[in-house]
Structure 1
Amino acid sequence: MPQPFDRLLTATTTLDTPFALVDAPALWANADDLVRRAGGVKVRVASKSVRVRSILEQTLARDGFAGIMSYSLAESNWLVDQGIDDILLAYPTTSRQALKDLVADERRRAAITVMVDSVESLDHIDSLIGPNHPEIRVCIDVDCSLKLGPIHLGVRRSPVHTPRQARKLAAAIEQRPGFDLVGVMFYDAQIAGLPDSSKAVRLVKKRSVAELLARRGKVVAAVAEHAALEIVNAGGHRQPRGHRRRPRHHRAHRRLRAVLAGAVRRLRRFRVTPRRILRALRGPQAATRHRDPVRRRIHRVGTDQQEPPTAADLARGSHRSRHRGRRRGAEPAQGQGRPPAVDRRPRRDAVRQGR
């Protein structure tokens, strides 16, 4: 057993289970590495992955970390009461009591940013606490999934996907009393939540990174036309293997204010096969490369083969050999065999005569 585990086992020999164990040197080494890889962008800690308040507080006290992404609005209210003053709620909320507790406390309203993804989210909040509530800070959740024709790769977090949709929602929030748009949230689950387990996954990540780098900057610019953004948060974004460009070197990433740190989650399997993914990523030419109808071997079907099979044919399976080739172990009927192949490519002499 490696030495670090021996040390941890020795330290907990006299303790009764159950108990929680944290390897502090490894924890802070990982934290420092996250800050280094963020390249100057602040790291927001996901509280649903780190469930110990003292660790949250000690992490936020380190350089390079700023704010918490919470799991629920009730948890957000509690964290503010514990002294944390920068909290981004990860998901839209439907909790009536938590919303009432939020608007009842000025300190909570100043520290908590609620996630929304549509005008319906605003309508729902108004229906729970009334339209005349104090101003609530909100952030737009943007869908970061990769769309390749009919294929959808990633999680369906939000109906907002394009810069046009983001601009439309931002304009609606700007005109809506009781709400203050302060942020934009991106979470690219198909990049951060999948291990590099196959060539298809690596291609998905590489294509998704390139698409998201171009789209994210446009979305932020579109939303910034209607709001002074304080939060531009990217999810657990990480570059796939072989992608050497660092985030801070891209103009879209210069708009980022924070990235997310927490546990890496695996997505459910895609409902498409790896072969279908590869075809979509390589373009339409790869999907039709070997579909030249001129080079297919087309079999002539006689008039006798177009007649319905008899009972004797069904018994010995010869009707299958007429259309699909002889079955293994089945003899063809007398006079029946595999039809000759017909080459439909024009002969050279026929072409010359036509000229």
Structure 2
Amino acid sequence: MLTKAELQRYNRQTILPEFGIEAQEKLKRVKVLIIGAGGLGCPILQYLAAAGVGNLGLVDDDVVDISNLHRQILYSENDIGRKKVEVAVEKLNILNPHVELTSYAQRLTTENAESIFAHYDIIVDGSDNFPTRYLVDAVCARLKKPLVFGSIFKFEGQLSVFHYQGASGYSHLFPEPPAEDEAPNCSDIGVLGVLPGIIGSYMAVEVIKVITGKGEVLVGKLKTVDIFNNTTLIYDIPKTEETTVQQEVAAVKPDEIIEIDDVTFDTWKMDLSNPIFLVDVRMEHEFEALNIGGINIPWYELQDRLDELPKDRKIVFYCQTGQKSKMAVFLHRSLSGINSYSLKGGLNH
């Protein structure tokens, strides 16, 4: 039930015939987790807190930097150097003391994602990197959690709702990430400050629609917004059978990737004390055309073929560029608990 103070606070929403008190009560009961308290996370957090979402969780291990301030308007110069989640909780409590806030000042990984997600009804991905996006998508698929997704690039943004009402996931729309040199982040390429505010606000709207059941949700659709050319497009996402393989990707530390690109395959074979087991994670026809030995298990089949991998040898995954092999490493580690490695740079290196 809404208190008198809450009824007064949310009056302009509840008097909407299409919304009403019942929808407001649904907002109060739900638990929403926001991944990232940066450019997208700030407007998402502010609008969901202001709208009266009863329980908000936020995950981010970053601190406020002066370069954040042109777009992450939840923060100010006085906050530089402080943990973003700590500052966000303070300011959101001032914005709306009726909202319960839980912060996780840590990086999302395969080790902690599932335990954190389990406490929430809806997951909102405002992260800024592909490994985290694939990880969030995989865990949402496994736990059957609706996922509101958004991303930004220079003057363009996109958003969709996955794993809701039978919708497929992010990895269905984007089966693999682009090469590292094809997907620079905003620290490398830049972003117009108002863009995350626009896309983040759109994402907050989708969250509210999922919670309340009001309006048309972006299920099975991808919305793109170009603020430079004033264009907004909505694409249908083709329906296919859900794959049983989920990409389990986490942000990996540099020392978790072994650099073996300067060692020849002949040297590996000669190292009998620590033999390497090679796995090519490309498609079968790619493996047949060119390979450096080992067996071929396309990365998307790895989950069903774990029994083909030894537990007493150093497993090295490789592909053409090093991207798919990284995903294979993360998936293998999360499923088996056994350490494995990616050939840095792949066959192109």
Whether the TM-score (by the shorter chain) exceeds 0.5 is no
Higher relative contact order (CA 8 A, sep 6+): 2
Give the shorter-chain TM-score range. Answer: under 0.3
TM norm structure 2: 0.22
TM norm structure 1: 0.22
